[in-house]
Amino acid sequence: MKKITLTTWWTNFLTGVLATAIGVGLTFGVNNLVERNRQKQAQRQAAMMAIYDIDEMARKFEICKTREDAFYHVAMYLFSHQEELMTTSMDSLWMASEYLHYDPATTPEWVDESTEKVFTTSMDAMTNIGDITFYRNVQECYHLRRDLLNRFAQSATFRKPVTDEFITAFRKTLSSSDINHVGMMEHDALARFVQLMFRQPEVVLYLQKFHTRNNEFDRFSAQIHLLNQENKFIMNISDADMKRYIETYVNKVVPATEKLIVGTWESVRGPKTTTWEFRKDGTATYNVSTEMQLSLVFEEENINVAVLTPLSFTAEGRWELWTDTLVIQLDSATTQLLSYDFNLGTLPKSFIESKKDSIDIMVEQHKQGLFQFIKQTVSRAEGHKTSVSKTGNMMFWEDQHTLPWGEIQSDKLQFTKKD
């Protein structure tokens, strides 16, 4: 056999071709490996997003269920002891009326459809998840929620029996002495209203159906819990995985420090704008711009008028951070009323004419009364559990307080840094 001898040029050429082929092969292999890893991470993240959403749904539902259970027992006690209504506390009377009132404009806390829409409208969701059983479980959880919502809206067993129309009809029978300065029913009027509710057949039926509702609520909670536990098993997601997910993608905050808090922060809620300036030396300035509605009763006309009163005020004080709690103490003596606009345009002309010699005195009395109320309010020490966004431009306060029926309620406030 004739021996083939390659020149240096051919040797270099073939070596280059071989190196290129190996390089291309490795590149495709590495790219495929990276892509598979990315897809796997995307699947786990999408799965944890759904699991977290369903866990939150179940948690918020349990809170609402506990609240309704407490309200029911108050309402049922009053229903069985109607002779005590006139001596019952305002809190208990309010709880009974709230338990029975249907408000179509109110959405339960456990209904947030933003994540659900991802799974019901996107074909990519099932592809990204990669497991048909998991996908069906998620859909089943959301189907259970929609089914329960439909019952709240349509079923006599679930839908609360007292409507806005019923309340409006009763309020038309009230006199000015039955309404307080903010337009709410006084104690005796509320007691009569609760007694009138108890006489309605729909209310009696609703109270009788409590245990039926409660059994359905328990069944709903159990199904949601079991499905989501199966979801975690299917996708091999542990509690530690969920904790990391929440810390990374849900709780995008860091513990507050004095350095992070120093600055000017603003919060806007409807017509109310609150501004805090926290300085390095521990002093603070508090500014509020808002609109109040003062309720005035005119005996001659037998009407109640809500007077819109835009105002702004400021106060000075001190602040310090105790672990994760921002403690603020304002000095009521530094309170200043910056603006006060009592809108006479909403008052009846007949009243303005009849009181034209004393209306300025009335406005001044309201102004001074409001100023004293503001001073009393700002004099109370405040403590807010505080955290700050990882970007440093958002601050979050979370306050917890126990309601008369034992429920712990959280009130959250969000501020934006202005400097």
> Which of the listed ranges 105-114, 292-301, 399-408 does the model predict with the highest average pLDDT?
105-114
- The residue that leads in pLDDT, 13 or 337, is 337
If one compares 341 and 204, the residue with the highest pLDDT of the two is 204
The string of pLDDT tens digits covering residues 17-40 is: 565 655 555 554 444 444 455 666
pLDDT of 249 reads 82
- Look at 77 and 409; give whichever has higher pLDDT: 77
| 122 vs 55 pLDDT, higher one | 55
Residue 16 pLDDT grade (very low, low, confident, very high; cuts 50, 70, 90) = low
SS (H, E, C) the chain: CCCCCCCHHHHHHHHHHHHHHHHHHHHHHHHHHHHHHHHHHHHHHHHHHHHHHHHHHHHHHHHHHHHHHHHHHHHHHHHHCHHHHHHCCHHHHHHHHHHHECCCCCCCCCCCCHHHHHHHHCHHHHHHHCCHHHHHHHHHHHHHHHHHHHHHHHCCCCCCCECHHHHHHHHCCCCHHHECCCCCECHHHHHHHHHHHHCCHHHHHHHHCHHHHHHHHHHHHHHHHHHHHHHHHHCCCCHHHHHHHHHHHHCCEEECCHHHHCEEEEEEECCEEEEEEECCCCEEEEEEEEEEEEEEEECCCCEEEEEEEEEEEEEEEEEEEECCEEEEEEEEEEEEEEEECCCHHHCCHHHHHHCCCCHHHHHHHHHHHHHHHHHHHHCCCEEEEEEEECCCCEEEEEEEEECCCCCEEEEEEEEEECC
Confidence (pLDDT) at 211: 94
Q: What is the pLDDT of residues 230-248, one digit of tens each?
A: 999 999 999 999 988 888 8
**What mean pLDDT is predicted for residues 290-317?**
77
What proportion of the chain, given as a percentage, has pLDDT over 70? 78
When pLDDT is cut at 50, 70 and 90, the band that residue 406 belongs to is low
Which has the closest alpha carbon to 82: 189, 200, 194, 186? Answer: 194
**More confident of the two residues 307 and 61:** 61
**Least-confidence region, from 5-9, 143-147, 162-166, 198-202:** 5-9
pLDDT of residue 201: 95
Domain positions in the chain: 38-250, 253-417
Q: What mean pLDDT do residues 143-152 have?
A: 92
Q: Is the pTM of this model over 0.85?
A: no
**pLDDT tens-digit map of 47-90:** 888 999 999 999 999 988 988 899 999 999 999 999 999 999 99
Q: Identify the CA nearest to 318 among candidates 308, 310, 326.
A: 326
- With cut-offs at 50, 70 and 90, classify the pLDDT of residue 252: confident
The predicted structure's pLDDT at residue 79: 96
The pLDDT of 198-206, averaged and rounded, is: 96
Q: Is the model more confident about 176 or about 128? A: 176
What tens digit of pLDDT does each residue of 384-393 get?
A: 999 998 888 9
pLDDT number for residue 316? 97
Q: What is the mean pLDDT of residues 129-149?
A: 88
- The domain 253-417: what is its CATH number? 2.40.128
pLDDT band at 400 (very low <50, low <70, confident <90, very high): confident
> What pLDDT does residue 31 have?
47
Reported as a single tens digit per residue, the pLDDT across 334-367 is: 999 999 887 776 666 766 666 666 667 777 887 8
